Structures are given as structure tokens and as C-alpha cells.
Structure 1
Amino acid sequence: MKNTFEVKDHSISGESFRLEYDEQLHMYFTTPKPSKEKLPSYYASEDYISHTDSKRSLFEKMYQVIKGITLSRKQKLLTAYLPQKGHLLDIGAGTGDFLEYTSQKGWTISGVEPNEKARTLAQQKSIALTEHLPENTTSYDAITMWHVLEHVYDLDDQLHWLKKKLSKEGVLFIAVPNFESFDAIHYKTDWAAYDVPRHLYHFSKKSIQQLFEKHEMHVVKILPMKFDAYYVSLLSEKYKSGRMNYFKAFWSGYKSNQSARRSGAYSSLIYVIKHK
């Protein structure tokens, strides 16, 4: 395990950042960490796909199709742990598709999204999102963070907030990339899921488990996000060679998922978390 290495921001700024390894937590931290004031500028691009519903290119069309498939899977996962449904909070809600879908399935919904453009697109779907985490007395039966925890500015504060806001019998669903996956090892510094400096933290199974244990919560289940291996490999091929190589990306994604069948180290993982 390297103690530190350099990764380039391929998508927006072209700047380079270091990833520094914390041996105790078994995770990497992006350094230097941009200031809170500067960080939003690294999201300021029409190509930042989580903040758009665009279908301009084949890649964007594929992303939107896969997003539609995963919406159903995420909702079924919620219902598997919370069959009575209830009040759902989605943090980092993007353009509101997941909340729109779950609302139609009978959930009471709330959502948080810092990006103004994404909130506007959500509003057009009649999904009202707030810019900041709610500080009212409401507790939530389900809290979801689909590829969001790696973006939060103050990690320890965020975990404390989640502990406080999750109801006693509630369930937290966290999805994050896994730097121990085959595709991460294969693409090295070109691995798209490092996504510096938007990703401030880079997690392993061990780090997620330790971080939540510290806040008296525990991981009850770990599940794969198999589509992510293909999506991340496709972006990684672009960063590595300057073009979308669909064949190589598909093969890499396939090998990553096959490898993970034995190791459990999928490109991205969903952690199902409850209070102790």
C-alpha cells in the first residue's frame, strides 16, 4: 500500500492532488484539501453528470439508462429492510430522480443537494430539495447517500449528524467507491473514482466499518454495485488514453466483477448500517 501518490483532476481543473494514506483507518485523504469556498468551483461543469439529465452523447445516454435500472434496485433494497416504508432522506440527491421514484412507491421524502443547477432540475419534477442538511427535530427511517460520503467536507461531523438523525430502528444506506477493487488496481492513478478533489476521502471496507463503529453504528450488510465497474472503467480508459475505448472498458469492468466474486472487492459497495 503506497503511503502517498499523485492523482490528476482529469475532468475540470487539470490540477494534481496527493492521496495520503492513513494506516490506522485504512483509507486515503485528498491533499491539499480545497477550502469550502473554492470547492464548488470543481463541480462547475456541464459535464458533471450527477448534476444533469443530459443525453447529448452515447456515454450520457448509457448513464441515464443505467440510472433508471438502479433506481428500481435501490428502492427494492430500501423495502427489504423497511417494508413499512416511512420517511426517507436522500443526501446528495442530484436532480431528484431517486426521490421522485421512491415517492411514487409510497415513501415520505426529503432531500438535500448543494448544487443549484441540480436543485432547479429537481424542482421541475416537483421535488423540492434543500441546500443544507436539516437541523430540525425530524428523525428519518431511512437515510441514503449514493456516492456522496466521499464528497462531504467535514467527515466526522457528517457521521455524528447521521447518528443523531437516524431513527432508533432506522437504516442508513451508504454507497462509495472501493480503492481495493480490481479496476482501481488496474488503472492506478488513472482510476476515475479517485475523482480529485471532489472526492475528499477514499474508502475501503475496513475504513467504513471503523468509522461507523466509532459513532456506535455497525455495518449489517455489504452489497455490490456491479454496473460501477463498467462506468468507472470507461471513464478511466478516457483518462488513460484520451478516448472512450468501450471494448477495453467492458473487459476491465467484467474482470473486476469476476475478481470481486471471490474477494468481495467490487468497484463500488453499498453499506447497510444500523444503530448498535
Structure 2
Amino acid sequence: MEDSTFYCKDYLVSGEMYRLERWKHYDILKTEPVPENLSAYYKSESYISHTDASKSFTEKLYNIVKTYMLQKKVGWILKEKSAGKLLDIGAGTGDFLKAASRYFKVEGVEPSKVAREKAQKKHLRLKKKLSEISDKYNIITMWHVLEHVPNLEQQFKEFHRLLNDDGLLVIAVPNYKSKDADIYKEYWAAYDVPRHLWHFSKKGIQTLFFENGFQLFHSKGLKFDSFYVSMLSENHRADKQNLFKAFKNGLKSNLSAARSGEYSSMVYFFKKTSK
């Protein structure tokens, strides 16, 4: 999307329309207006990051890919840090922490009571808020969480407070400059308004983090996300699943990203540049 402002619909809960505007001088979009009671917009059985359900085809596919990607994510981190304390912010039902606990001492934060209760069944006790944590960590991860954070300025303060000076910060977010975002436009499922308050590009997130004391030193594309997001986007655009078209557009996005580096979702690896 090259326009500075456009509109998207909440397909999951309310059916309401939201405005996406360029934010400050960054290559980042912001959702407006932000609902006063944002937590109400997460109350859906379809909100997949807070459930372990595996009933529908989409849920089954999501969980198969999730299991594979958990090991990949842990492997990426092990290449940078082979041991230490890891904090996962927005830990959901705790699957990543469970996988990471084989190699690291892990802790997690998750505001959803439902998700925390599911994590507890996996022998993980998650904190409700970051303010409950006072320790320092070698690694902090946020897997598709930063786009949900209401106050980015406060979030950066917490990163500096909680991360060791030689620590690793790993952030995964959707990329609105990807080919699948361009194909589906306002129907692109990863806009997910109003739950997604921020919409990042590769350039935008690099500039934002650098100005807040973090240097990007590596990034990777999450190649499966283009297929999953395309499946959901087909539902938004045509009110039905077209698996062939979704697969074709997901593949088209990844082939485009192989040249441009702009994958549907990106993982960014940062280190501190200031204390």
C-alpha cells in the first residue's frame, strides 16, 4: 500500500472499520482509532494464538506448521546464544517456551488468563504483566506480539530494563510490504485490526529500533506465513476458502521475497547499541 491512509475491517469479532495511517517519520502504519476496551476484541474462539484447538483444517494445518517452526526458532536462537535465561513476551499457551526449556532457563509473560491456564497444564507458570518481572535476561523474544503493544515507547524502556547489555532481542512481526499484502490489500489477514495496532515494514522496524538503542544484525523470512495468511485473506475477500488460490499467492509472495527480502512475516535479531 503506497497511500498514506486506507481502511480495513475487523473480520474476527466486530465487523468495524479502522483507519491505517502512516506513523510519524517511520515506514510504519498505525491503526486508528484504538478501541477503549481492546481486550474485548480478543474474545473469539477463532483467535488461534490463545488456543490449542485442532478441529478445523486451518487449525490442524496451523498446529502442524507450528510444531515444525518451534524447533526452527529455537535453532536460530541457539546459533546466537547457546545458554542463559530467556524471556518470552506474549507467550500464548507456552509452546515456544516448552521447546526452548530444553536449552535455556525460561520465563514468560502472557496477559490472557485462558492462555496462561493452558500453559500451566504444560508446567509453565506465566506472569500476567512485565511489571511483575525484575530479573535480567540473555534473550528476549516476541513472536508476533509487538504489533499488539499499545505503547511502543514504554516497550523499549522494558527491553532496556530486562535485557543484558550483551543480550539478544528477537522480534517477529508481519510485513505489510510483502507481496501477499500487496495482492490482498485491505483484505490482507495480517492487518488484523484492531488487535494489530502497528504494521511494520523491514525498513520501518530497523529505523525504529535503531533510534531506540538497538542494532539489527540479522533477519529471516517466515516462509510458511505467506500461505497461512493467504488462506485467511481468501476468506476475507471471498467469504470462503480457496486453497488453490491461497497456495498460488503464498508461493508468489515467497518467490518475490527471494528477490526483495520482503517476506510475509519477518524475524529480526537485535543487539543493544546503548544502555
Task: Report the TM-score range of the alignment, normalised by the length of the smaller protein.
Answer: over 0.9
> Which of 176, 188, 193 in structure 1 is aligned with 2:190?
193
Deviations 1:215-258 (A, max 9, x none): 21110111110000001000000100011111100000000000
1:152-191 to structure 2, matched below 5 A, reads 152-191=149-188
Deviation at 1:26, TM superposition (A): 1.0
- Structure 2 unaligned runs (5+)? none
Q: Which residue of 1 aligns with 2:29?
A: 28
Q: Which residue of 1 aligns with 2:69?
A: 70
Q: Which runs of at least 4 in structure 1 moved beyond 3 Å after TM superposition? A: 134-137
User: Aligned partner of 1:77: which letter?
Assistant: W
Deviation at 1:156, TM superposition (A): 1.1
User: Given the two structures, how large is their TM-score scaled by the length of structure 2?
Assistant: 0.97
1:53-92 to structure 2, matched below 5 A, reads 53-83=52-82, 85-92=83-90
Q: Which residue of 2 aligns with 1:131?
A: 128
Question: Which of 207-216 and 172-181 deviates more?
Answer: 207-216
Deviation at 1:136, TM superposition (A): 4.3
Q: Structure 1: how far apart are the matches of 2:133 and 2:19?
A: 37
Q: Structure 2: how far apart are the matches of 1:238 and 1:187?
A: 11
Deviation at 1:22, TM superposition (A): 2.8
The number of equivalent residue pairs is 272
Identity of aligned residues (%): 48
3-state DSSP of counterpart to 1:129: coil
Q: Structure 1: how far apart are the matches of 2:154 and 2:139?
A: 19
Q: Structure 1: how far apart are the matches of 2:213 and 2:62?
A: 36
Question: Which of 205-214 and 46-55 deviates more?
Answer: 205-214
3-state DSSP of counterpart to 2:165: strand
RMSD: 0.9
User: Aligned partner of 1:16: which letter?
Assistant: M
Deviation at 1:106, TM superposition (A): 2.5
Q: Which residue of 2 aligns with 1:99?
A: 97
3-state DSSP of counterpart to 1:7: strand
8 Å CA contact 1:217–1:274 kept in 2: the answer is yes
1:232-251 to structure 2, matched below 5 A, reads 232-251=229-248
Q: Structure 1: how far apart are the matches of 2:162 and 2:132?
A: 9
User: Given the two structures, how large is their TM-score scaled by the length of structure 1?
Assistant: 0.97
3-state DSSP of counterpart to 2:196: coil
Deviation at 1:23, TM superposition (A): 5.9
Q: Which residue of 1 aligns with 2:148?
A: 151
Q: Which residue of 2 aligns with 1:5?
A: 6
Deviations 1:172-200 (A, max 9, x none): 00000000000000000000000000000
Q: Structure 2: how far apart are the matches of 1:156 and 1:208?
A: 13
Q: Which residue of 1 aligns with 2:50?
A: 51
